[in-house]
Amino acid sequence: NNYNYNNGNYQMYYLGAYCTSSGVYAGVFTDSTCTKHAPSGTYEKYNYGYSLPTRPLVSSSCMSCSAYNNNNGNNNGGNNNNNK
């Protein structure tokens, strides 16, 4: 959460995920249960102009597990000295 000074009052903002029919996205909310979206531009205003990702946080497409296991079971990041 983030406290922001507003005319002598503190406004708390919360960062959380929300779902749409096109995916799961990050958003800024005014309540701790992340149901009330903060006004557009709130995140950028308090975070030096940086913005939240505009693409979904998770992919809706599937990948084969074997796509990640193409190194003959050598899953030690190229560290061949057996130090784990």
The 3-state secondary structure of the chain, one letter per residue: CEEEEECCEEEEEEEEEEEECCEEEEEEECCCCCCCECCCCHHHHHCCCCCCCCCCCCCCCCCCHHHHCCCCCCCCCCCCCCCC
pLDDT, position 45: 93
pLDDT, position 38: 96
pLDDT, position 16: 95
In the chain, which stretches have pLDDT less than 50?
A: none
The whole-angstrom separation of Cα 35 and Cα 48 is 25
Asked if 17 contacts 28 with a C-beta cutoff of 8 angstroms, the reply is no
pLDDT, position 58: 84
pLDDT, position 84: 52
Task: Give this prediction's pTM.
Answer: 0.60
> Closest Cα partner for 57 from 14, 22, 13?
22
